[in-house]
Amino acid sequence: MQPLENGQKTLASDAQRCRAAIRLGTHTGPTAGLAPGCVQANLMILPQDLANEFLLFCQRNPKPCPLLAVTEAGQATVPSMGESIDVRQDVPKYRVWRDGKLASEPSSLMDLWRDDLVTFLIGCSFSFEEALLVDGIDVRHISQSTNVPMYRTNIATNGTKRLHGPLVVSMRPMPAADAIRAIQITSRFPSVHGAPVHLGDPTLIGIRDINRPDYGDPVTIHEGEIPVFWACGVTPQSIIQTVKPEFSITHAPGHMLITDISNARLASF
Amino acid sequence: MQPLENGQKTLASDAQRCRAAIRLGTHTGPTAGLAPGCVQANLMILPQDLANEFLLFCQRNPKPCPLLAVTEAGQATVPSMGESIDVRQDVPKYRVWRDGKLASEPSSLMDLWRDDLVTFLIGCSFSFEEALLVDGIDVRHISQSTNVPMYRTNIATNGTKRLHGPLVVSMRPMPAADAIRAIQITSRFPSVHGAPVHLGDPTLIGIRDINRPDYGDPVTIHEGEIPVFWACGVTPQSIIQTVKPEFSITHAPGHMLITDISNARLASF
């Protein structure tokens, strides 16, 4: 990573202020809309043994699991994504999973931290949605102020020995011309899911009812609009829940880790 | 990966014929120019323990170490890159390293194979050079029929606990307009090193004499041409040689693994 330029320094200080408020407990809610322009990341924390295998899973499934950073075991800092980041304290709400079941939703991991825990920061669609909005494309769940609709598909991920399961996708409906433009724009952002995985007929990827998403909320699809499907960062959580490891930690949905990195820097060119 | 289309089937059968000749020992030399259109891969084989760390190193250094595939320990096949591939027999010349020193250069690994060996296939610049040539750009070491010049730089890779060392780059000189075009073209190929890491003054990245490469051969730089530097697949070999692990295997330079995948399929869009 290059040293930050002036404009990036301003963005970074916004991110640092937000993380400070989260760490102090003065901000406890979702992070959408906070520190605009800054990358927000999905979080996955696993014991070393399973972490090695999850790293392999991410290598085999870069569209749902685009890695922004991976720590050493026990390391709570991620200097490449922000000097002051502490992954144990900087997310407003965590989810602790035991044997695949939700065990608790703490606002800090200081009491749970272990020397064998490896942290994965995974790209999030917030980054490419900002690029779509800047281009004048209507992102329906944002204009309707709901969560993006997400669906389990019949597309299998490329599994490892222990980690396997179906791809989860998010859907954004748009007119054809916008869909083409959205494909061009998101192709430039491979580290936040990249180009769509499908468009058009939802049944071809195993989605029975587009109005009944498996996660998030349904959105209005206007006459003549095409549903466009992107690989979704919920996939690794879904896989972990399927595989039921003894212990893992994720962020709570919508409660992301805000980094110092600008979304623009994630563009591949 | 999608099922192969007809044109890809023809490419794949070329690749299969080449691998068969290599496996039988009727082809023993370098692979440049064989099975045109097919991806050729750098090879790195490591025991499981160091393989976990090398996977992390690749995640942190995607430009020199773009991963095309990683096997399970002991697995000699790589179906995602070609149904019939056997990594123990399909490379014309291997290099076996013991304690960082070259121990032997066998043409088969059948006698050396172990259940704990993990194979990494890493993208190779052959793929993007084909795209440059198709675009009418003169790739100097190809038109001069020599090896590409490669240099150790003063740019550090992003290390792990045991794996660290300088970035190695390859250099192709070209007029400015071609350099700009080459940046656009190679940006589309992130899995074979992607966009250049530097252009212009070689001393800024620690190269003292452009006419004395550390690996490969010098090439002519015409008046007004700019040297353009790409991250190079020799970097992981150089790192392994620096770190001197007890046991590792690579391909011999220029003796690559030919896969069934078409270079065109590596384009990000």
pLDDT digits (tens, 9 = 90+) for A116-145: 999 999 999 999 999 999 999 999 999 999
Are A222 and A205 within one domain? yes
Amino acid at B181: R
Contact: A59, B72; criterion CB under 8 Å: no
pLDDT at residue A7 tops 70: no
pLDDT at residue B269 tops 90: no
Q: Is B88 domain-assigned?
A: yes
Which pLDDT band holds residue B6 (cuts at 50, 70, 90)?
A: low
Backbone angles phi, psi at A193, to 5 degrees: 90, -20
Are A15 and A70 within one domain? yes
H helix intervals, B73-226: 126-134, 140-143, 176-187
Q: Is B49 domain-assigned?
A: yes
Could you report the per-residue pLDDT of B120-146, keeping only the tens digit for each?
A: 999 999 999 999 999 999 999 999 999
* pLDDT average, residue stretch A7-27: 90
Q: Is B1 domain-assigned?
A: no
Name the residue of chain B whose CA is nearest to A73's CA. Answer: B161
Name the residue of chain A whose CA is nearest to B161's CA. Answer: A72
Cα-Cα-Cα-Cα torsion A177, A182, A183, A185, nearest 10 degrees, comes to: 130
Q: Is A1 domain-assigned?
A: no
Are A45 and A11 within one domain? yes
Are A103 and A205 within one domain? no
Are B184 and B262 within one domain? no
Q: For chains A and B, count residue pairs whose Cβ atoms are closer than 8 Å.
A: 41
Q: What is the pLDDT of residue A268?
A: 83
Amino acid at B8: Q
Q: Is A65 domain-assigned?
A: yes
Are B118 and B133 within one domain? no
CATH code for the domain in which residue B198 is found: 3.30.2040.10
pLDDT at residue B154 tops 70: yes
CATH code for the domain in which residue A110 is found: 3.40.1640.10
Name the residue of chain A whose CA is nearest to B1's CA. Answer: A158
The pair of three-digit structure tokens given for residue A218, joined into one six-digit string: 């349904």
Are A12 and A116 within one domain? yes
Which pLDDT band holds residue A5 (cuts at 50, 70, 90)?
A: low
The pair of three-digit structure tokens given for residue A78, joined into one six-digit string: 């991620």
**What proportion of chain A, given as a percentage, has pLDDT over 90?**
86
Question: Any CB–CB contact under 8 A between B195 and chain A?
Answer: yes
E strand residue ranges, B114-236: 117-122, 150-156, 166-174, 198-199, 226-231
Question: Any CB–CB contact under 8 A between A56 and chain B?
Answer: yes
Contact: B59, A70; criterion CB under 8 Å: yes
pLDDT at residue A4 tops 70: no
The pair of three-digit structure tokens given for residue B246, joined into one six-digit string: 């007890």
Q: Is residue B41 within 8 Å of residue B122, measured between CB atoms?
A: yes
Of the candidate ranges A68-82, B116-130, B232-246, the one whose mean pLDDT is the lowest: B232-246
Choose from B72, B167, B268 for mutation: most chain A CBs within 10 A: B268
Chain centroid, CA B112 distance in Å: 23
The pair of three-digit structure tokens given for residue B175, joined into one six-digit string: 């007029």
Contacts of B160 in chain A (CB under 8 A): 72
pLDDT at residue A171 tops 50: yes
Name the residue of chain A whose CA is nearest to B158's CA. Answer: A1
Let me know the angle formed at the C-alpha of A264 by A261 and A266, rounded to the nearest 5 degrees: 70
Q: Is B223 domain-assigned?
A: yes
Are A99 and A113 within one domain? yes
**DSSP letter, residue B215:** B
Q: How many CA atoms are closer than 13 Å to the CA of A219, on its beta-carbon side?
A: 27
Q: How many domains does chain A have?
A: 2
Could you report the per-residue pLDDT of B159-218, keeping only the tens digit for each?
A: 999 999 999 999 999 999 999 999 989 999 988 999 999 999 999 999 999 999 999 999
- How does the average pLDDT of chain B come out, rounded? 93
Q: What is the pLDDT of residue B242?
A: 87
Cα(B33)–Cα(B256) distance, integer angstroms: 11
Q: Is A176 domain-assigned?
A: yes
Q: How near does any CA of chain B get to the CA of A215, in Å?
A: 26
Contacts of A158 in chain B (CB under 8 A): 80
Q: Which domain holds residue A23?
A: 6-124+244-266
State the CB neighbour count (10 A cutoff) for residue A13. Answer: 12
Are A110 and A135 within one domain? no
* pLDDT average, residue stretch A148-174: 95
Q: Is A39 domain-assigned?
A: yes
Are B153 and B53 within one domain? no
- Contacts of residues B27-36 at CB distance under 8 Å and 24 or more positions apart, as own/partner, are B27/B92, B28/B92, B28/B93, B28/B107, B29/B92, B29/B255, B30/B92, B30/B254, B30/B255, B31/B92, B31/B254, B31/B255, B31/B256, B31/B258, B32/B126, B32/B254, B34/B258, B35/B11, B35/B258, B36/B130
Are B73 and B179 within one domain? no
Are A147 and A228 within one domain? yes
What ipTM describes this predicted complex? 0.81
| Secondary element (H or E) of residue A102 | strand A101-104
- Per-position b or e across A200-232, b if 16+ CB within 10 A of its CB: eebeebebeebeebebbebbebeeebbbbbbbb
